[in-house]
C-alpha cells in the first residue's frame, strides 16, 4: 500500500490475526463481540483489503478497518499504540482507508466512536470528521 520513511502501511493477512488481537488489547478502547480470532479471520477472508495495518520498525503501530458494503464506507478499530500516538500513524491509516473507499466508489466515510473516548473524538475531529448527534446506534446480538 503506502510507505512513509519509517512507517509501512499494508493490509493484514491471516498470519497477522493473533498480533492484531494482542495489539487491540493494548491500544484499542474496549472490545466488541467480534474481536476474537474467528471474527478477524472471517474479516480477512471475506475482504482481504479491509484490515489495514501500520508498522514501524517491523512492529505493529496502528490498525484501522475500512469496511465497504457496496453502498457505505465504515471505519472501525482505528487504534494507535500509546507509544506511537501523535507521530502520524493515525493520519496515515485514515489516508489509506480513504484511498480505498475512493477507489471503490465510496462517497462518505463514517466511524463509530465511544462517547467516553475523548482522545478518539479529538483525533476524528482533527482528521475532518464531524459528529452527527442526530443518529443513535441500535444493536442486537445475533446467536449462531
Question: In the structure, what pLDDT confidence band is assigned to residue 4 with cuts at 50, 70 and 90?
Answer: low
| pLDDT top residue among 62 and 133 | 62
Average pLDDT for 2-24? 89
- What is the structure's pLDDT at 35? 82
| pLDDT top residue among 135 and 42 | 42
Q: Where are the beta strands (DSSP E) in the chain?
A: 2-3, 7-11, 51-56, 59-68, 73-80, 109-111
- What is the structure's pLDDT at 137? 81
By the 10 Å C-beta count (0-12 exposed, 13-18 middle, 19+ buried), 137 is classed as exposed
| pLDDT top residue among 101 and 112 | 101
* Residue 5 grid coordinates: 520513511
Average pLDDT for 105-118? 91
- What is the structure's pLDDT at 72? 93
Domain ranges of the chain: 2-126
- What is the structure's pLDDT at 40? 94
111 has pLDDT over 90: yes
Average pLDDT for 7-33? 91
By the 10 Å C-beta count (0-12 exposed, 13-18 middle, 19+ buried), 141 is classed as exposed
- What is the structure's pLDDT at 1? 57
Average pLDDT for 64-88? 94
Task: Round to whole Å and give the CA distance between 53 and 119.
Answer: 20
- What is the structure's pLDDT at 144? 64
CB 65 within 8 A of CB 52: yes
Q: Does domain 2-126 have CATH number 3.40.630.30?
A: yes
Amino acid at each position: 500500500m503506502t510507505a512513509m520513511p519509517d512507517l509501512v502501511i499494508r493490509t493484514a493477512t491471516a498470519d497477522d490475526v493473533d498480533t492484531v488481537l494482542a495489539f487491540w488489547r493494548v491500544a484499542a478502547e474496549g472490545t466488541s463481540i467480534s474481536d476474537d480470532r474467528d471474527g478477524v479471520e472471517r474479516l480477512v477472508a471475506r475482504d482481504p483489503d479491509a484490515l489495514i495495518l501500520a508498522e514501524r520498525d517491523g512492529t505493529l503501530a496502528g490498525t484501522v478497518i475500512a469496511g465497504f458494503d457496496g453502498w457505505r464506507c465504515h471505519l472501525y478499530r482505528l487504534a494507535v499504540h500509546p507509544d506511537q500516538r501523535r507521530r502520524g500513524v493515525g493520519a496515515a491509516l485514515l489516508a489509506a482507508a480513504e484511498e480505498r473507499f475512493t477507489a471503490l466508489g465510496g462517497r462518505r466515510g463514517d466511524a463509530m466512536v465511544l462517547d467516553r473516548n475523548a482522545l478518539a473524538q479529538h483525533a476524528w475531529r482533527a482528521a475532518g470528521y464531524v459528529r452527527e448527534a442526530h443518529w443513535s446506534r441500535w444493536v442486537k446480538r445475533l446467536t449462531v
